[in-house]
Structure 1
């Protein structure tokens, strides 16, 4: 009985091994048959195998001995475009997205991310430099007031200029907080047409008069003024820019203020040529 039991178990194992070997053989044969059908045009003509292992239809130009690939997506429709619902073999997912979807995806990226994306490869550089993508980013980060503007050098350059100007504008308020007359001297353009109107209402014209007004303001014994700027709106034209904003001061009885700063591009950098600060009258308060 024990010998019969052992023989039965051995036979079962051998049978399982034979069945497994047959299954593997059939799998190998079916894979090879499928591979041959892919490399054929359906009429018996076999095309050479490609390193990319693609499944596109290929023909060889006998005159030039070069391969010509054709795909279903390369067949134009009556409007000259690609047939709807057919993907382009060998193309990346980004290439096959319609522009609206691509721009929507890029709208979630910030300024540094979009710049880094453009440095990955040629395709991403083309996508990341799209003018509509930079326009959407500009309106998201800055203001919607410029939707009718057509920048001469495109929205990417316009974005960069706007960001640089806002940094200069922020530096102006840092100079006031630090009371640095030297930095204020470098910020203003040395010209006789510059003008400054302080919150007190006093107006000064000309570079020398404006610098004296700031010297007097910095020497005045008072607490350090720290402005909190809100709602900056900027407009840039050739060689000129102006920024309007509200400035709040954490000091009892001071502010808020309406502020307008005008800048001129000279000698490779932006300089202030006009500053106007006036008290902001809050609606509904008597």
Structure 2
């Protein structure tokens, strides 16, 4: 199961995570995850949440309070170890918390951020499912 093709499968699973995030689609987000007690998430500024119910609740809260978000992913690295895959990357984020008066994205309210992220996937025999997402804010230029 190792090799470039497997890394590509992991990249597809990782891409599905960010597509679900950008679209605010809770059903699509649920499809990405391993919906068990193994699931865990650490959002920037949040404590780590354990178990699928808490992970799902965190996405519900984020989606309810995010009008627009877009990711440009850089420095993506994939490491596959048998049935576990680790993806490290930088999330370069453009977002706004609320709509303009006409319901469109308020471009005056856009803000940017950079987050160092680690996504961990397990292969369930059929496909790669996320078991852990960790995001830490990056301040300025480092190293």
Question: What TM-score range do you get, normalising by the shorter chain?
Answer: 0.7 to 0.9
Partner of 1:228: 72
Matched residues, number: 128
The two structures, once aligned, show a CA RMSD in angstroms of 1.6
Cα offsets for 1:157-197 (capped at 9, x unmatched) = 51000011111111111101111111111111022121101
**C-alpha displacement at 1:253, in angstroms?**
4.2
Matching residue within 241, 257, 266 for 2:115 = 257
**C-alpha displacement at 1:235, in angstroms?**
0.4
Residues 34, 130 of structure 2: 8 Å contact kept: yes
Partner of 2:100: none
CA distance in 2, matches of 1:277, 1:234: 16
- Structure having the larger proportion of residues in helix: 1
Residues 40, 51 of structure 2: 8 Å contact kept: yes
Residues 17, 29 of structure 2: 8 Å contact kept: yes
Q: After TM superposition, what 4+ stretches of structure 1 lie above 3 angstroms from structure 2?
A: 251-254
TM-score by length of 2: 0.83
- Structure having the larger proportion of residues in strand: 2
Asked if residue 210 in structure 1 is aligned to residue 74 in structure 2, the reply is: no
Q: What pairs with 1:1-286 in structure 2 (closer than 5 Å)?
A: 158-220=3-65, 222-251=66-95, 252-283=110-141
CA distance in 1, matches of 2:111, 2:24: 21
Q: Relative contact order (C-alpha < 8 Å, sep 6+): which is higher?
A: 2
Residues 177, 225 of structure 1: 8 Å contact kept: yes
Cα offsets for 1:3-34 (capped at 9, x unmatched) = xxxxxxxxxxxxxxxxxxxxxxxxxxxxxxxx
Residues 195, 203 of structure 1: 8 Å contact kept: yes
**C-alpha displacement at 1:245, in angstroms?**
0.3
Which of the pair has more CA radius of gyration? Answer: 1
TM-score by length of 1: 0.43
Q: Which runs of 5+ in 2 are unaligned?
A: 96-109
**C-alpha displacement at 1:250, in angstroms?**
2.4
Q: Which runs of 5+ in 1 are unaligned?
A: 1-152
Residues 94, 111 of structure 2: 8 Å contact kept: no
